[in-house]
Amino acid sequence: MRIPSLLLFLLPFCATAQDWSARTLGEIAVYPEYRAPARVVAGEEARIAAEVGARIVAMPARTGAEVVRGTELVRLDDAAFRIELERARAQVALIDSRIGLARVQLDQARTLAGRGFISADGLRIRETELGVLQRERDAARAAQAAAELALARTVIRAPFAGVVRERLAAVGDLAAPGTPLLGLAASADAEVHARVPAAQVDGLLAAAPPTLVAGGAEHALRIVRVSPVLDAAGQARDVILAAASALPPGLAGELRWRSRVPHLPPGYVQQREGRLGAWLVRDAEPRFVVLPEAQAGRPAAVDWPADLQVVDEGRFAIGLQAPAAAAGGTH
């Protein structure tokens, strides 16, 4: 905290050298620890839902089971989808046969047209018929692809490696498209989310590396990002951190960080003429320096050098033996 020289007030005192003693700021400074609630959040968390409607015939993944990407989680009754796929394949085969016949007829028409037995319009009709059949085949192949996709969706697989958090359906249930069947939380890339008062965010960013204290252990963290959104009710911001070691999602505890800025202990902060400050040694004499941002009963942040002399013993009596009159001074 930089204290402008205009805000420093030096008060006269009446005390002899033996009435007080001093210590350096480095000897008495404290570095307050701050805390905020925090919890471990999965990097990815999804409710796996059905994409097609069918009855559930198997759910091999149980609650709490760890799965890798691609593991089968749910299997739906695929009988109707297999029938639809066979129908689509048969339609493609039928059109292929008609196209084969149309090509033979077109070749014959071209031969006859070359001999003058078929008019140009008759030849164009054969060519058009072949083109229409080819477009019908394209549509039939698209229908076949859609049937294959629907059949594939009767088996629901894990989109990422994780842990089954909960099962929301059971074997025998009828799953409709969009119906959540189970919850899956990623087992990797978990983040620590903390709700930090807005006034303390800058201090956190400038502080020593924070830690998460949870489950009787401390975990080293690093700040990944700070949400720019301010919670109107609590006047707090979300801070997202990453842990040096893997942490289980759902773990809750406290985010702790220690300020790098030296603070005067509350006992060194005194009030003189309605202002809070501290006694420093200037020119071998105690001088009262006002701390504009100090609060009674709380450590006061200062930006003084560590070797600065701060009055220790006898500080409570200084300035009380004579009437005080404020005068301007410098830091």
Mean pLDDT (the chain, rounded):
87
DSSP H or E stretch at residue 182: strand 180-186
Give the confidence band of 14 by pLDDT, cuts at 50, 70, 90.
very low
Give the confidence band of 114 by pLDDT, cuts at 50, 70, 90.
confident
SS3 52: coil
Give the confidence band of 321 by pLDDT, cuts at 50, 70, 90.
low
Quickly tell me which residue has 């805000």 as its tokens: 7
| Count of C-beta atoms within a 10 Å radius of residue 47 | 13
Q: Which residues contact 292 (CB under 8 A, 6 or more apart)?
A: 3, 7
The predicted model gives 134-154 an average pLDDT of 96
Give the confidence band of 317 by pLDDT, cuts at 50, 70, 90.
confident
The predicted model gives 104-132 an average pLDDT of 87
The predicted model gives 124-147 an average pLDDT of 93
Q: How far is CA 98 from the centre of its chain?
A: 58
Number of helices (H), then strands (E), belonging to the chain: the values are 4, 23
User: What's the Cα-to-Cα distance from 196 to each of 52, 61, 226, 235, 241, rounded to whole Å?
Assistant: 43, 38, 10, 9, 12
pLDDT of residue 320: 65
Please answer whether residues 126 and 77 qualify as being in contact, where contact means their C-beta atoms are separated by less than 8 angstroms: no
The predicted model gives 124-146 an average pLDDT of 93
Is it the case that residue 5 has pLDDT exceeding 60?
no
| Count of C-beta atoms within a 10 Å radius of residue 37 | 13
pLDDT in tens, 158-191: 999 999 999 999 999 999 999 899 999 987 888 9
Is it the case that residue 234 has pLDDT exceeding 80?
no
pLDDT of residue 10: 46
